Structure 1
Amino acid sequence: MLASSSNAATPQPFYRQTYVQVLVAILLGAVLGHFWPTWGEALKPLGDAFIKLVKMVIAPVIFLTVVTGIAGMPHLNAVGRVVLKAMVYFLVFSTLALVVGLVVANVVQPGAGLNIDPTTLSTKEIATYASKAHDISLTGFLLDIIPDTVVGAFTSGNILQVLLFAVLFGISLTLAGERARPVVAFFEAMTEPVFKLVHLLMKAAPIGAFGAIAFTIGRYGIGSLSNLLMLVATFYGTSLLFVLVVLGAVSRLTGFSILKLIRYLKAELLLVLGTSSSEAALPSLMQKMEQAGCDKSVVGLVVPTGYSFNLDGTNIYMTLAALFIAQATNTHLSLGEQIALLLVAMVSSKGAAGVTGAGFVTLAATLSVVPSLPVAGMALILGVDRFMSECRSLTNFIGNAVACVVVARWEGALDRQALDDALDHRAAGRDARPLTVNQGNTP
C-alpha cells in the first residue's frame, strides 16, 4: 500500500495545504463570477484545462494499479471474487439511491403547485441531450467496454476499456509466472513516478477550481436558483440524508466513521465541488484509498468500476427530477408507473455511464421510455442542472470511497490499523506528503 515517507512528518502550514487553497479559490471564483459575470465566463478554459490534465493521467494510474495489484494476488479467483462483490454492492446501493429519491419526491413534492403546461415549454435547448439519450442502450454500453485496439483503450477516455485491458493483462502476467517478473517489476517501478505526476498536477487544482466555479456563477448566476429553489434544496437535502444515514450506517457496520472519511477526503471533495467533476479527483481517490489500508488490487478494481456503476448521486437525481417534472406538469403517476420508472432508471443509469453530462442525459433516456412523462419538462430544470451537478458528483465520489473500504473489508484485504491511522486527526495533512510504494499484499 502507499505509505507516507519518514521525512514528511512535519505538518505543512495551513495555507500550503491543498484543501485550503481549493476552498479559497472556490470562494474567490464565486465572488468574481457574481460581480463580474463576463470575466467569470471567460475563465472557463482554466477549469477545462485542469480536468483535461487529470484525465490525461487517469488511464496510466488505473492500468498500473490494476496490473501490479493482480500480479501480486496469490490466487486468480480473487479477481472474480472482488468484482462480484463490488457489483453486488453497486446494484444494491444504486437501487437504494433510486428508491430514496422516489420516496422523498413523493413526500416533499417539490414540483407541486407549479401548474406548468408542457406544451408551452421550448425543447430546443434540450434537443442535444434528448438525441444522446436515444443513442443509449445497455447492449451498446457493454459492447463499448471492449476497445477496438489496445492503444484505443488508452485514447478513448473510457475508464472501463482501460480497466478491462488491465485486468486481462494482469491475469496474463500472473499465468506467465516467473518469466513475467521483469515486466511486473517494470510496472511496479513505473507506479512511483506516475503518482508523483498526479501529485504535481494537483498543485494546479486551485486554479482549475477557481476557473470552473467563476464560469458557473458567471454564466448561470445565483439568481437562477430562485424559481426552482425547492427542487435544488430537496436534492441537496436528500443527498445529505443518503450520505449521513445510509452510507453512514454502512460505514459504522464496517467499523469506521463516515464523517472521518469525509474529513480525510476533504481536499478531493472540495476539488469535486469546484470543478463539478468527480473524475478530477479519481487519481487522488485511488491514492488515498490505498493509503488508508485498502489493498491495491481492490482499489484498482472497485474505484474505476464504481465510477460507472455506483452513481448514488446521479440515481437520486434521476427519480427526484423525474417526479418533480411529473408534479410540475400535473402528470399523475400511479405506483405501478413509478416502479416502472425506477426499473428503467436502473438500466439507463448504466447505459449513460461515461457520457458527458451523464446525469441530464440519463434523465432524458429515462423520460423517453416512460410515455406519460413529458420529455419537454426537462426544460424546467436545465437552468439549475449545473448547480445540482456538484451535488451529484460529491455524492458519487463519497459513495465510491465507502464502497472501496466495504469491499476491501469483505475480501479480507483491509489493513484496519492503516485505516484508523488515515482517518485519525493526525492524517489531516497527508494529501500533501510525498508517497512511497510498499510492495506486497495487505494481510
Structure 2
Amino acid sequence: MTAIAQDPPKPHRPWYRILYAQVLVAIVIGAALGWWFPHAGAALKPLGDGFIALIRMMIAPVIFCTVVHGIGSMGDLKKVGRVGVKTLVYFEVVSSFALAIGLLVGELLKPGRGFNIDPTTLDPNLVSTYVTRAHEDSIVGHLMAIIPNSFFDAFAKGDLLQVLLVAILTGFAISRMGALGERIAGVIDTAGQLFFRIIGMIVRVAPIGAFGAMAFTVGAYGLGSLWNLAALVATFYAASILFVLLVLGTIARLTGFSILRFIVYIKDELLIVLGTSSSETVLPNMIQKMEKLGASRAVVGLVIPTGYSFNLDGTNIYMTLATLFLAQATNTPLSFGQEMSILAIAMLTSKGASGVTGAGFVTLAATLAIIPDIPIEALAILVGIDKFMSECRALTNLVGNGVATLVISRLEGELDQKELHQALANPHRVKALAREPV
C-alpha cells in the first residue's frame, strides 16, 4: 500500500509568544496597576506615548512608498481617479449610516435622561482648549492645510493628508516617466519593504506600549467618572457593535466574507488599538494585512490612508450620540428638524478628523459650536470619560477602514476571493507571513 504524504505538523507556539495574548495580558495588568496604584499608573504615560511616537515616525514613509508604488505601477491614471471617486462615495454613504445609528440609538435609549444638569454650574475652562481648536478648524482652513509648505514639510509634520497629496502627485509623475519611472517605482518599493521591516521590530514592543497607556488611562482618569456616566459609555459601545455587526456585517456579506472572521483576522491590531486608544498605531500593519487578504496594493495604498481622515465610523457614531446625550442631560428640547440639522452638520465636521486620541472630542466641539441650541459648556460633562470612549471610536474606525478596502478592491475586480477566504480561515499563517523575522 502506498503511503499518503502528509504535511509536517506545524510547530506549537506557546501562548505567551503570541502578540495578541501579550497585548491582552499587558492591558489587564496595566488597568490593575492604574486602579490599585493610580499615581504609579499615571507616571507610566511615557511608555504608551513612546510606542505611539515610534509608530508615527514610520507612518509617513510607509504611506508614501505604498501609494507612490501603487499609482506608479498602475499605469492607467483614469483608474486612479475612478478608485478615488468610488472610495469617497463609499465613505460618505457608510459615514451617513454611522451618524444615523448614533442618532437613532440616542433617541431610543436616551442615555442623558434624568441628569438635569445646569450648564451654568459647569467649569468652561475644562473645554476651552477644545472649543478654541474647533473654532479655528474651518472648512476652507482645513482644505488649505492639506497643502504642505514644502515637499519635505509633509514628512516632518507627519500629516496624513499632506503625505497622501505628495504621494499621489509623485505617483502620477512616475507613471508618466516610462521605463525610468518603473525603475524609480522599484526603488521606492524596496524602500517600503525596509520601512515595513522596521515596523515589524517596533510592533514587538506593543505590549509595553499598551501596558503603559492603559495604566495611565486608569490611573489618571480613574473608573469613578466611568461609573457615573456608565449609561452613555454602554450606549456608545452598543451602538458601535450594532453598526459593525449590522451595517459593516451586511456590506461584508455582500462582498463575500464574514465580518466576524475579519475581526478575528485583525485581532492583534484591535488589541493594540484598545491599549493605545489610537488607530494610527496599526496603520502600517493594516496596509500589509489588507494586501495579504488579496486586495491590490494600489487600492490598499489609496483607501487606507484616505480612510484615516474621511472614514471615521466610530467618530461619527460618537458625534451624534454624544450631541443627543448633552441635549438630554441639559434638558434641551430638540425637534425632528433640529436633529436632522445635527446629522447634516456632523457630516461636514466629521471629515478630516485624524485617527489620534481626542480628535473625536474636537469634532464634537466643532459640531456644538455650530448648533446654538445646546450649550457648549456641557462638553465638560464628557471630559472625564472621553478617554474611555476614544478606544471604542478607534476600534470602530479601524474595522470600517479594513472593510472599505476590501469593498473597493471588489468593486475594481481586484480582490482575490480565494486568497481572501484562505487568509480569513488561517489568520495565524497570514500573520507569520506578514511579520517575517528581521
Scaled by the length of structure 1, the TM-score of the pair is 0.94
Change (3 A) 1:275 1:183: same
The separation in 2 between residues aligned to 1:76 and 1:10, in whole angstroms, is 46
Residue in 1 that maps onto 2:428:
428
Task: Give 1:299 shift.
Answer: 0.5
**Aligned-residue offset at 1:431:** 2.4
Question: Which residues in structure 2 correspond to 1:105-254 (within 5 Å)?
Answer: 105-254=106-255
In 2 relative to 1, CA 98–35 (structure 1 residues): closer, same or farther, beyond 3 Å? same
Q: 2:257 corresponds to which letter in structure 1?
A: F
Give secondary structure in 2 for the equivalent of 1:293.
coil
Distance 2:36 2:399 in 1: 32
2:292–2:430: 8 Å Cα contact kept in structure 1?
Answer: no
Q: Against the structure 1 CA distance between its residues 11 and 86, is the aligned structure 2 distance closer, same or farther, given a 3 Å change threshold?
A: farther
Task: Tell me the equivalent position of 2:59.
Answer: 58
- Larger mean CA deviation between 332-341 and 71-80 belongs to 71-80
Cα distance, 1:11 vs structure 2: 5.6
Distance 1:170 1:351, change over 3 A: closer
1:353 is displaced (CA, Å) by 3.8
**Map 1:82-97 → 2, pairs under 5 A:** 82-97=83-98
Once the two structures are TM-superposed, the CA of residue 254 in structure 1 deviates from its matched residue by: 0.5
Amino acid paired to 2:165:
L
Question: Which residue of structure 1 lines up, in the alignment, with residue 311 of structure 2?
Answer: 310
Tell me which of the two structures has the higher relative contact order, counting C-alpha pairs closer than 8 angstroms and 6 or more residues apart.
1
Give the match for residue 441 of structure 1.
none
Query: What's 1:34 paired with?
Result: 35
Q: Quick one: distance in 2 between partners of 1:166 and 1:398?
A: 24
Query: Superposition RMSD on alpha carbons, in Å?
Result: 1.7
- In structure 1, what is the Cα distance between the partners aligned to 2:434 and 2:420? 18
Cα gap change, 1:8/1:55 in structure 2, threshold over 3 Å: closer, same or farther? farther
- Counterpart amino acid of residue 41 in structure 2: G
Deviation at 1:152, TM superposition (A): 0.5
Q: Deviations over 1:121-149 (max 9, x none)?
A: 11111111011000111111111111110
Aligned partners of 2:354, 2:197: CA distance in 1, in Å? 29
Structure 1 residue runs of 5 or longer lacking an equivalent are 1-6, 437-443
Q: What code does the residue aligned with 2:427 have?
A: A
Q: Distance in 1 between matches of 2:420 and 2:361?
A: 36
Shift of 1:8: 13
Q: Would you say the 8 A contact 1:129–1:360 is kept in 2? A: yes
1:191 Cα deviation after fit: 2.2
In the alignment, the residues of structure 1 paired with residue 74 and residue 183 of structure 2 have an alpha-carbon distance, to the nearest angstrom, of: 17
Render the CA deviation track for 1:49-76: whole Å, top value 9, x for unaligned: 0000000110111111111111221411
Aligned to 2:5: none
Give deviations 1:315-355, integer Å, cap 9, x for gaps. 00000000100001100011111111111111111144467
Look up the SS of the partner of 2:149 in the other structure: coil
Question: Structure 1 residues 419, 351: closer, same or farther in 2, change over 3 A?
Answer: closer
1:342 aligns with 2:338: no
Residues 292 and 434 of structure 2 are in contact (CA less than 8 Å); yes or no, is this contact kept in structure 1? no
State the AA in 2 paired with 1:126.
Answer: V
Of stretches 289-298 and 135-144 in structure 1, the one that deviates more from structure 2 is 135-144
* Native 8 Å contact 1:8 1:434 kept in 2: no
Structure 2: distance between partners of 1:193 and 1:301:
20
- Secondary structure at 1:72 match in 2: helix
Q: Partner residue of 2:400?
A: 399
Which residue in the other structure is 1:48 paired with?
49
1:21 maps to what in 2? 22
Report if the CA contact (8 A) 2:289-2:434 is conserved: no
Shift of 1:312: 0.4
How many pairs does the alignment contain?
430
Where does residue 440 of structure 1 map in the other structure?
none
One-letter amino acid of the structure 1 residue matched with residue 335 of structure 2 = S
Partner Cα distance (1:369, 1:22) in 2: 40
Deviation track 1:182-228 (CA, whole Å, cap 9, x = no partner) reads 21221122222211111111001000000000000101112221111
User: After superposition, what is the alpha-carbon deviation per residue over 1:271-328, rounded to whole angstroms, capped at 9, x for unaligned?
Assistant: 0000000000111011100111110010000000000000000000000000100001
Residues 197 and 9 of structure 1: is their aligned pair in 2 closer, same or farther, counting only changes over 3 Å? Answer: farther
Residue matched to 1:368: 369
Looking at structure 2, the residues matched to 295 and 283 of structure 1 have their Cα atoms a distance apart, in angstroms, of: 15
Give the secondary structure class of the aligned counterpart of 1:67: helix
Q: In structure 2, what is the equivalent of residue 280 of structure 1?
A: 281
Would you say the 8 A contact 1:138–1:351 is kept in 2?
Answer: no
* Distance of 2:292 and 2:434 partners within structure 1: 12
1:313–1:391 Cα contact (<8 Å) kept:
yes
Measure, in 2, the Cα distance between the counterparts of 1:146 and 1:10: 50
Against the structure 1 CA distance between its residues 106 and 284, is the aligned structure 2 distance closer, same or farther, given a 3 Å change threshold? same
Cα separation, partners in 2 of 1:61 and 1:10, compared to 1, 3 Å: farther
Give me the whole-angstrom Cα distance separating, in 2, the residues matched to 1:149 and 1:187. 20
Unaligned runs of 5+ in 2: 1-7
Partners of 1:39 and 1:218 within 8 A in 2: yes
Aligned partner of 1:294 in structure 2 is 295
Q: Which amino acid aligns with 2:373?
A: S
Q: Say whether the 8 Å CA contact 2:52–2:281 is kept in structure 1.
A: yes
**TM-score with structure 2 setting the length:** 0.95
Question: Any idea what the Cα deviations from partners look like across 1:371-409, whole Å, max 9, x if unmatched?
Answer: 111101111111111110000000000000000000100
- 1:12–1:429 contact (8 Å) kept in structure 2: no
Instruction: Supply the distance in 2 between the matched residues of 1:149 and 1:88 (Cα, whole angstroms).
Output: 30
Paired residue secondary structure (1:412): coil
